[in-house]
């Protein structure tokens, strides 16, 4: 099995790479519905609505006009996640997401950091990069 290095990955808004990424997370969920009746010995479940969302942490970069600056609270953007990079044959995940929160923090011993949280709206596609 081939391991994927996180440092080779990237996240883009459409075709624009987001600058100064420290880390990102992507979570996919499927709600379930309970169809268990009184005489069932085991729970009877069915798949309900699927959803996705996550977060992105960066060092603040005011010059990143097509990346970080495009991530504003309430905006819908197309996000492209490349866990192992954007080379042919690797996997990409792509979908539209609403930016739900942005936080910034700084300290006297570090750089200003910016965190973005988002929720998917619609499907999250899994694509093999060509």
Chain centroid to CA 98: 11
Decide: 97 and 74 in contact? Cβ < 8 Å. no
Averaged pLDDT, 36-50: 96
Beta bridge partners of 19: none
Tell me which residue has tokens 């499907």.
Answer: 123
State residue 100's pLDDT score.
98
State residue 2's pLDDT score.
77
Domains and CATH numbers, the chain: 6-29+47-128 (2.30.110.20)
pLDDT band at 30 (very low <50, low <70, confident <90, very high): very high
With H, G, I as helix, E, B as strand and everything else as coil, classify residue 105.
strand
Is residue 36's pLDDT more than 80? Answer: yes
Please give the structure tokens belonging to residue 117.
């949280």
Per-residue pLDDT reduced to its tens digit, 63-96: 999 999 999 999 999 999 999 999 999 999 999 9
pLDDT band at 29 (very low <50, low <70, confident <90, very high): very high
pLDDT band at 105 (very low <50, low <70, confident <90, very high): very high
Decide: 53 and 27 in contact? Cβ < 8 Å. yes
Averaged pLDDT, 29-35: 95
What letter does residue 117 receive in the DSSP assignment? E
> What DSSP line would sit under 28-64, residue for residue?
EEEEEEE---TT-SS--EEEEEEEEEEEEEEE--TT-
Is residue 12's pLDDT more than 70? Answer: yes
pLDDT band at 6 (very low <50, low <70, confident <90, very high): confident
Instruction: Provide the percentage of residues in the chain whose pLDDT is more than 70.
Output: 99
């Amino acid at each position: 099995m081939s391991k994927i290095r996180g440092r080779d990955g990237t996240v883009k808004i459409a075709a624009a790479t987001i600058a100064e990424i420290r880390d990102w997370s992507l979570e996919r969920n499927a709600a379930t519905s309970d169809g268990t009746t009184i005489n069932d010995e085991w729970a009877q479940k069915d798949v309900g609505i699927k959803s996705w969302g996550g977060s992105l942490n960066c060092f603040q970069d005011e010059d990143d006009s097509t990346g970080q600056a495009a991530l504003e609270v309430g905006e819908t953007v197309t996000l492209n996640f490349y866990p192992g990079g954007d080379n042919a044959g690797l996997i990409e995940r792509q979908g539209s997401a609403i930016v739900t929160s942005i936080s910034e923090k700084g300290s006297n011993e570090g750089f200003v950091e910016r965190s973005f949280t988002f929720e998917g709206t619609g499907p999250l596609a899994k694509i093999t990069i060509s």
